[in-house]
Amino acid sequence: MKSEKLSNKILRLIKSKGFKNIELDPVLETKYILQRSGENFRKYLFSFYNSDGRDLSLTPDLSISSILRYAQNNTNSKEKVFYTGSAFRKSYNKKNVIVKQIGMEIFSSKNENKDDKEILDTSIKIIKKFGFKKATVKIGNFKLFELLINKLSMPQRWKSRLLKFYWNEKYFSELLKRLQSNSDIDPIVVAGDKKTYLKMKKENPNKIIAGRSYREIIERYERKINDPRVAETGKYSAKIIREFLKIKCSLKDAPKKLNKFYKKYNLNISVGKDFFPVSNLNQRGVNFKFSTSNGRGKDVEYYSSFIFSIEVNVKKSVKTLVAGGRYNSLTSKILGLKKIPAVGAAINL
């Protein structure tokens, strides 16, 4: 009963900010989940086939259902919505199989910074509704990493690879080791690839092998020839990336610390306060922290810039009660639909 009253308080607060309530379908096509999280994620899904033979799943992520609903309405108008419901994921320890959530989102932002602030400010007010007098707001911005990578000297295919796997800490670390040492380049394999390349150049370019045409394979190999990986510059770039990912400080010091880092390596990047959408840094009981690695290693790979989480102490342990950020690329890059500027947050009940 107490949690129900608290939920109603939070919902009234969100509604007072101009968000409208929407109903979400508890199931969605499995393909949309796997396009975002990969086939390995299937083992966590409650999946089934309907009478039409469609592969469906109980939704493991309410934000996907919400943005799919907006995309399928085929509108470009700005919309502020909120919803309540349950997300379902299999768990080997049989805990947290059903996660009750409240979510709020803003689609088709005209002023992204303003809407980012609104989501964050509302999230902090929600924490106060929970009754917590102290909270830590952790903020990051993927765009800062993207700016860094685009300034470094390395092949374009490696820039794309590092941006894609930024969130996967383990594989990202392996990529950096390869970048700095070229240890994965075997001269014998390179010689064999060159021989195969020359042979394929004489064949029909439309011929298919392993699902790809000879033309695609030849073009990929030529990109490697024309834009080779150099051990010396790779080592230098890996050093800069590692140093960048260690940056942590209070949010008010973030622009100064980041600009000092960029200047140190002559990267010609300037960071202002617009990267950190906070209306008031001096809120009582709220500690704002910045980290260039915020969110890495978690299931948040679709965020495109601003990302945040709010932590509180509950029974001597730290809990994340609210998390969110901006995910402009979720629909276009991952779901295969039109691009929709979007920002949102989920409240874990």
Residues 299-344 pLDDT 10s: 667 788 999 999 998 888 888 999 999 998 888 776 777 888 999 9
pLDDT above 80 for 151: yes
Could you say which of 210, 225, 241 is where a domain stops? 241
Is residue 277 domain-shared with residue 132, that is, in the same domain? yes
Q: Which domain holds residue 141?
A: 2-147+242-348
Is residue 30 domain-shared with residue 154, that is, in the same domain? no
Mean pLDDT calculated for residue range 264-289: 89
Is residue 24 domain-shared with residue 80, that is, in the same domain? yes
Sheet holding 286-291, edge to edge: 20-21, 79-88, 98-107, 342-348, 317-326, 306-314, 135-141, 286-291, 248-250
CA 256, distance to chain mean position in Å, is 25
Distance, in Å, from the CA atom of 29 to the CA atom of 36, rounded to the nearest integer, reads 12
Could you say which of 219, 241, 263 is where a domain stops? 241
Is residue 12 domain-shared with residue 133, that is, in the same domain? yes
Is residue 156 domain-shared with residue 141, that is, in the same domain? no
Are the CB atoms for 129 and 321 separated by under 8 Å? no
Is residue 133 domain-shared with residue 159, that is, in the same domain? no
| Helices 156-164 and 214-226: angle between axes, nearest 10 degrees | 100
Are the CB atoms for 194 and 186 separated by under 8 Å? no
Is residue 257 domain-shared with residue 135, that is, in the same domain? yes
Q: What is the pTM of this model?
A: 0.81
CATH number at residue 52: 3.30.930.10
| CA angle in degrees (0–180, nearest 5) for 126-131-135 | 70
| 176-200 confidence digits (pLDDT tens) | 988 887 555 555 555 566 677 677 7
- Comparing CA positions, the residue from 344, 258, 274 lying closest to residue 303 is 344
Distance, in Å, from the CA atom of 128 to the CA atom of 260, rounded to the nearest integer, reads 35
Mean pLDDT value across the chain: 85
Is residue 247 domain-shared with residue 234, that is, in the same domain? no
Distance, in Å, from the CA atom of 322 to the CA atom of 312, rounded to the nearest integer, reads 10
- Which alpha helices (DSSP H) does the chain contain, by range? 2-16, 30-37, 62-72, 112-129, 142-151, 156-164, 169-181, 187-200, 214-226, 231-244, 254-264
Q: Could you tell me the pLDDT band of residue 159, with boundaries at 50, 70 and 90? A: very high
Is residue 338 domain-shared with residue 263, that is, in the same domain? yes
Alpha-carbon distances, residue 91 vs 43, 46, 84, 108 (angstroms): 10, 11, 22, 35
Domain count, the chain: 2
Is residue 41 domain-shared with residue 131, that is, in the same domain? yes
pLDDT above 70 for 221: no
Could you say which of 217, 241, 265 is where a domain stops? 241
pLDDT for residue 263: 95
Is residue 301 domain-shared with residue 247, that is, in the same domain? yes
Mean pLDDT calculated for residue range 288-298: 89
Distance, in Å, from the CA atom of 72 to the CA atom of 49, rounded to the nearest integer, reads 22
Is residue 263 domain-shared with residue 317, that is, in the same domain? yes
